[in-house]
Structure 1
Amino acid sequence: MNFNTVFRWHLPFLFLILLTFRAAADTLLILGDSLSAGYRMAASAAWPSLLNDKWQNKTSVVNASISGDTSQQGLARLPALLQQHHPRWVVVELGGNDGLRGFAPAQTEQTLRKIIQTVKAADAQPLLMQIHLPANYGRRYNESFSAIYPKLAKEFDIPLLPFFMEEVYLKPQWMQDDGIHPNRDAQPFIADWMAKQLTPFLS
């Protein structure tokens, strides 16, 4: 059996290996809460699913967001998600439920720090999203909470993504009746907006 015959025999297997590697390398994992899970709507209508459709085969978007998750709950789920999906990038959209429940900002900061460290240890790139709380939580608490995110982004030299809800709040017709969650009509805008924010970092 000469070299050419051996090469032709193994070529399909090499192609499958390359496809598998590419799929793993091009996965974007969304680790979030109800803002990304698609609260009160089908998962297929939520912005991560629309973003996946938008990017088609360029980047696979895995939405691992769960409504109600705190940063601690996200951290608990993270190792299994990293092992299962082997993402190249991880968007961390967590902390909002910590703030809504009045957790100490220092506690949330430490948990987010562990999330970032866990992502980096898996050779993935963390993309941290800024989170802001409603104004009625008080200026002092809000300032302490909001300061967590730029601090961690600077500490780990990672991107800090703007909070997409800041754009959604400007359109009351895009909000659900609870005044917290974006509705179905907002999802296409969020998907397009996130695509613009993420594209510079997905290389």
Structure 2
Amino acid sequence: MSRLLSLMLLFFMSFGLKAQTLLVLGDSLSAGYQMSIEQSWPSLLPSELANHNLEVNVVNGSISGDTTGNGLSRLPSLLEQHQPDYVLVELGANDGLRGFPPNVITNNLKNIIAMSEDSGAEVALMQIQVPPNYGKKYTQVFADIYPALATEYQVPLLPFFLEQVIVKPEWMMQDGLHPKPEAQPWIAQFVAEKLAPYLTK
């Protein structure tokens, strides 16, 4: 009898749980640059979110070299294919490194947020920074894009994980821009901690 009750309880618990789907729309910082995709932090994120009692399927829609414009052009097919509950936007670094005008970056990100929300997904935005050698004015204007959009669209703004990775040379590749595989578990833990409060339990 107790075995039957246990099986029934397990059935109803399983029936009531629905794994959420998170789409990570990013660039080389999320795509697993020069490593296997299994080593990248988005691949490690589900197990870290499980530590927060969250069952989340993570779709890594990141491509190295992508700009906000590239991400915007790929987004419709990603939304149609995966129908995510959440979209985490990690884009803009390549725009900044190429000195794209801030208004172009802003408009692309606005369209990404609006398109994701129109599909029924909730959006989280990751803060991106560019190196200071691009000039104080451009660096500041670029950085200000993200909190302004987070406020305008009332979406969560996650801290830029690279800020805490780049201070550890052993975690960075020789180009000084990309984290090594050794840094990926920490990044996954960091993103999970910052993202978990905004995901439905």
The two structures share one fold, judged by TM-score above 0.5: yes
- Tell me, yes or no, if structure 1 residue 47 matches structure 2 residue 37: no
Q: Take 1:52 and 1:156, find their aligned partners in 2: how far apart are those partners?
A: 26
Give the drift of 1:55: 3.9
SS of the residue 1:103 aligns to? coil
Q: Take 1:172 and 1:86, find their aligned partners in 2: how far apart are those partners?
A: 38
| Equivalent of residue 194 in structure 2, options 194, 197, 203 | 197
Determine the structure 2 residue equivalent to 1:130. 127
| Equivalent of residue 76 in structure 1, options 52, 56, 73 | 73
Map 1:111-190 → 2, pairs under 5 A: 111-190=108-187
Aligned residue type for 2:162: M
Q: Take 2:45 and 2:109, find their aligned partners in 1: how far apart are those partners?
A: 24
Q: Take 1:166 and 1:201, find their aligned partners in 2: how far apart are those partners?
A: 22
Q: Take 1:75 and 1:22, find their aligned partners in 2: how far apart are those partners?
A: 28
Q: What residue ranges of structure 1 are gaps of 5+ in the alignment? A: 1-14
Identity percentage of aligned residues: 53
Q: Take 1:201 and 1:170, find their aligned partners in 2: how far apart are those partners?
A: 28
SS of the residue 2:18 aligns to? helix
Determine the structure 2 residue equivalent to 1:6. none
Give the drift of 1:102: 0.8
TM-score by length of 1: 0.87
Q: Take 1:55 and 1:152, find their aligned partners in 2: how far apart are those partners?
A: 26
**RMSD after superposition:** 1.6
C-alpha contact 2:65 2:94 (8 A) present in aligned 1: yes
Q: Take 1:126 and 1:151, find their aligned partners in 2: how far apart are those partners?
A: 15
Q: Which has the larger radius of gyration?
A: 1
How far does the alpha carbon of each residue in 1:133-172 deviate from its partner, in whole angstroms, 9 at most, with x for none?
Answer: 0111110110110010011001001101100001101211
Determine the structure 2 residue equivalent to 1:93. 90
Give the drift of 1:53: 3.6
Q: Take 1:28 and 1:81, find their aligned partners in 2: how far apart are those partners?
A: 11
The number of equivalent residue pairs is 184
- Tell me, yes or no, if structure 1 residue 106 matches structure 2 residue 113: no
Give the drift of 1:183: 0.5
